[in-house]
Structure 1
């Protein structure tokens, strides 16, 4: 183990040694030489030169340590933490050298940990089925994964390429959604097959520069699986309702037969028949709800005067209405659109929102009219938003799951799309947009 000494002690001892030797020589010259002044001057010059040499050599370790620290700190700027400094023999430098070496080790360990985390994150991102594309403020791709290359039908690396040039080769609906930085579901038809994507767009600052993140998820297989699950749920639900109605009807029918045969307790027959009638009516109403969804007629579109139509809805549903449009007419099936609005307002009122928190907005954008119903309820989870418009999916304990799906079918038949989103201030907003009446339709 190397023994550390004090630089100050080393320097002082060497200087004192030179001074003692110089003093001895001066005494010797003074007593023995015939011309001592000349000799004394020469000895002083030589002694001072020796002292200067001792000081310079004693300070050399300081210069070496400072040079090593300069190289080491500059290497930190280059993100190189591999340089360490050997310990010097002087105790004055031990502390600062230990601090530097400890700092370099911490930085090396941190960099290795970050590298391992980045490697793990990159492995996860590359293996995920969600297509991920990150672009800079010039719309050049700076990061992507394998799913993105598959989505864009590219075999080579996407990094450095212009995203605007690449997404032109996407399916039409997905390309338009990407160009508009749309956030939500996108439906595309390819070879008579309907494909549903979920596009999520986010803008954020990275390294003091604007970046854009696009996430594409193909929901087609997930929705097919969920539709299968929902159909199984529908079968269980219908079976449950049928059993709940048919079991008491069968029991009451057998009891009525026994009463008729025996002739006893004939006064109970009217009550039994009334109960059978009520259960039959309930069963008929239950089946009719589902049958109505299955046989939704095509919309009978006519020219509708907007203001009287909206006033009727507002009065019928007793809801606050805000309008911002200049158009006079809308080309639609008034009965079906009225049914959609009534259902949406009814859902908003049942969301847990205060009645004065339910709002119907109708506003115009170019040649389109948007209807939006918002509430101040608890909103929906991300999973519920993705499934809300699927047939027979419901978040209500006594719901049938037909309402929103029926509304969506009506809106789609009118060339629109039902959109659901949580509001920043709380609650849910459900909106759809329809084209205004053209001159040929008016």
Structure 2
């Protein structure tokens, strides 16, 4: 094409030369020079046009890479440095495509795992809106519907009251949904972290019902072993001493008989006390519910254990079995003191809710780790060397016998909150 163009210019130049006969010499020279320059410029432009197209293609693919589209490549038949540049550029595109595919596969795997885990997971952004809610969270909190884009407070408003109470109390902990034989036990965990420079909150709700049922079976087996061991430790010496007492009586050695009888009495009373403690838990009577003034109840409770008291409203009247609730709170308050909390920081807080009373026993001890939280409400589970493991379990039985519930939560800043909710 360049040659044709130059030939045309040459012909035009010949015509111009013919014309030059009629022009001054300087004009003819200028005309010839312009013709040759035009031919050279056109030839140069034609020669560089493929490289211009290549550079435009390179700029276009770079822009596509910047936008996350790695599907483009460049075809170039030439060699040399430009050929090497094109080959390197295409190799970069292939590497980026491979990385994008691997990333998509990992994201798909992660999403599959998150969506199908039995743990309810909710991610909340700084404005309080749900960014992610997996299938378990939808079933538990969202009536099976998508939660993304909704405010978490709005989602929580439709949840079970026990779930709402757990979030109101704050911190990590356990709570029960349902009553009696139809109940599920959950562990709540809340963690804050930064995502894309903004603070987000990850909420995890793990169902522990099946796990705790297995733990209960193991606990009852342990209880049977403990009771058998204690009975043997008491009955064996009683039988032996009774036989010895009979022999002493037959021989007329009455001076040693009082010692044997005193030992038999001591072991019998110990066994009686041991069985009574276990029977108190196993045979908890139905609560005798009656109106109780909280101020008077707290004053009576203070004669047995120290605590700071906070009541709202100050003239509140509850309806419960005063003796049973007193026993439960004595156990909880003593546990709070045994946590190492200064006496003036052990607190009993009672709040009136729309249809119930919330009773919180608060301390500033070391709290509980996840394993202890998961087992603390089981009968006979204890982390103390000489503990019976009945205090928290008895409090739970008393709360549920009243139609209420109990939850354990670690407090922000350290310490534990044992929260009982009783019907108003």
TM normalised by structure 1 equals: 0.70
- Aligned match of 1:243: 232
Residue deviations 1:277-317 (CA, integer Å, cap 9, x gap): 32222221111111011221222233323223223323431
Residue from 397, 400, 404 that aligns with 1:409:
397
Residue from 165, 169, 178 that aligns with 1:188:
178
Residue from 342, 360, 363 that aligns with 1:375:
363
Moved more, 273-282 or 285-294: 273-282
Assess if the C-alpha contact under 8 Å between 2:293 and 2:315 holds in 1: no
- Aligned match of 2:410: 422
Unpaired stretches in structure 2, ≥5 consecutive residues: 1-16, 169-173
Assess if the C-alpha contact under 8 Å between 1:299 and 1:332 holds in 2: yes
**What does residue range 58-207 of structure 1 map to in structure 2 within 5 Å?**
59-60=48-49, 63-76=52-65, 78-85=67-74, 89=79, 91=81, 98=88, 104-130=93-119, 144-145=134-135, 175-176=160-161, 182=167, 185-188=175-178, 193-198=181-186, 200=188
Assess if the C-alpha contact under 8 Å between 2:74 and 2:86 holds in 1: no
CA change 1:269–1:97 in 2 (3 A) is farther
- Aligned match of 2:171: none
CA RMSD of aligned residues (A): 4.5
Tell me, in whole angstroms, the C-alpha distance in 2 between the residues paired with 1:408 and 1:426. 23
Find the residue that maps to 1:316 and give its secondary structure.
Answer: coil
Moved more, 286-295 or 334-343: 334-343
Moved more, 56-65 or 314-323: 56-65
CA change 1:353–1:187 in 2 (3 A) is same
Tell me, in whole angstroms, the C-alpha distance in 1 between the residues paired with 2:86 and 2:263. 94
Find the residue that maps to 2:216 and give its secondary structure.
Answer: helix
TM normalised by structure 2 equals: 0.73
Tell me, in whole angstroms, the C-alpha distance in 1 between the residues paired with 2:84 and 2:257. 106
Tell me, in whole angstroms, the C-alpha distance in 2 between the residues paired with 1:153 and 1:365. 25
Following superposition, the deviation at residue 347 of structure 1 comes to 0.7
Matched, 1:386 2:374: yes
Matched, 1:332 2:320: yes
Matched, 1:313 2:306: no
CA change 1:64–1:395 in 2 (3 A) is farther
Residue deviations 1:188-225 (CA, integer Å, cap 9, x gap): 36xx9513152758698988999997766554433332
Assess if the C-alpha contact under 8 Å between 1:188 and 1:196 holds in 2: yes
Higher relative contact order, chain-length normalized (CA < 8 Å, sep 6+): 2
Assess if the C-alpha contact under 8 Å between 2:140 and 2:159 holds in 1: no
Tell me, in whole angstroms, the C-alpha distance in 2 between the residues paired with 1:140 and 1:393. 38
- Aligned match of 1:7: none
Matched, 1:301 2:286: no
